[in-house]
Structure 1
């Protein structure tokens, strides 16, 4: 799959636009005229076929012994993934500024306008796909298209006592990484920085501070040693989203934005609610949680074979990493139970096309924005 995101004029990043793009397949005979189509409606027959396929690939479950291994050693599988792929697997997610303008700087910032003029190519907002299922190969779609993550240098030195404090995550209400910032963003499941670095490079707001964490120590090390990593504006740390005993390095109600991009789907379903509850407590009143993840009946789910299903709609890939496929209702329940209010909960259905092989591939993602209510009587 090449060039999977529909072309858009640069100005749409900061202006109102048609949801999820403006390339629609009105004539099925033209399906191979473009690389991707937006908001593709499924026929009843297609939806029924997808449901049958999921029932079929779910009949044989992974044995309990292996399921325990995948849970206990999850960090090892992700470390191995990043040791193999390093920073070559995903492209920088510049599409985030379109789908989530809350992350973009004000339109009058020169750095952002410069970026717009230099990044006219468009990208598709999806997660990993190399191992989404047997036979699914989309390497060209995910390979890093720029060298912003390819040239690494050692992280700039920081004064010794500060470095020790950050490494031990010693925090208090008045002194913690980014404590003087006026706008704080946390990305959970940052990988090698494909979200964090575009934010840092385009949003030069002096009051911005970005936190990023990942389950994989290998991934965090790749972030910390990248030339784009600036410890004065960013703090990367290892953290298990499901670890109830380890605190985040920020006080409660201190974050403006929390980002979850194709990360919640890697969590065991029965641990998701507590994870979201803990994150919700970190948001300021009025703060937002932004999510994009796999939707039910995405092509990746349909391509799994028997014997890869862990539980209902939860699978293990060939490399030992896991993935869940959500419905809008499930995500709404997770967020509202955590005390958040719905701002957006949308299904993004795309038809991606391999014109060379004359193949069509249906992707399903869900995009959510949920806000922490303002304090009663505030304002």
Structure 2
């Protein structure tokens, strides 16, 4: 009798988990259909808008990517135009009452700093932008940010203020004891800041401003990078002080050992999920992990998480930058943030912020590219490496397509203003 009851419970659990997986995939597809109607978007692209030939070829490669194991949603020119709409900021005015006509809220931006994706460059950019344009910028380091914290009006737990620039140009730098802003919470962001971000999750600011319909009032900026490069760069960064005297071949062997060990365990790399799942999603996904894997494969679990991330990129209509295309990425950001800036203010921002080098790990003469070249000598390993980062690659390719379409819209909208 007992064993029969256990079998019944097991059967019910299995059916429930399968239903949850199917429901989430259904939600992913149906939520994409709820994207804003084109009439809400300004300006609209003409029907015959042609991408430049370079972008056309890049997008062709992305669409044909062999890493796509599932049907992905379609990102449209209308959504790209919406994503890069200029913010109604006036550079130099600290207490303006600008309203975004799409969200009916004041503009606010969140920078999601994914590990090893030009984060130092972008932090410097936002800090300099805030100082020049008299906007508030708060840089955060949030470890294990809880959904309950961001839903309350209290301080965000497990979240540290690294540095801040307020609207008066007062700066609190990294390593200095906080005097002005010791903690982060929804009220302080709502009242004092226009931009925030750092190592935190997408959707962290969902409760800072009021949400209107399906439009998220806090606009997100995300930079991504080829996952193989990002993985190698991370290994170099973590070991640069420990492995003195090592050459590229030594680091290549270390990476092979780690990747093959993970593949033998059936694991897939999913580092970006630390940032591109919302706090609520991260808690939910972690809570079902053990039970999900009991009745599904680890690959199905990795696919499920990657699809959730891609859906987030769509639903938040994230402004996408790619470290391999920094000039175009910065062009998008300046189009969005500097629409009402003078030529002098733009030149000052270019001089102070965009001269920073990319956040590419080095150790003496050892670089990400030199280690990758060593790894490419082993064709069998590269197949395993590709499998290991397959779902990060799927996310990255989708993001690249968004980025290319957004840049096309920036070029087009800029021509309209000439």
Q: TM-score range by the shorter chain?
A: under 0.3
The structure showing larger relative contact order (alpha-carbon pairs under 8 Å, at least 6 residues apart) is 2
Structure with more of its chain in helix, by fraction: 2
TM-score (norm 2): 0.25
Structure with more of its chain in strand, by fraction: 1
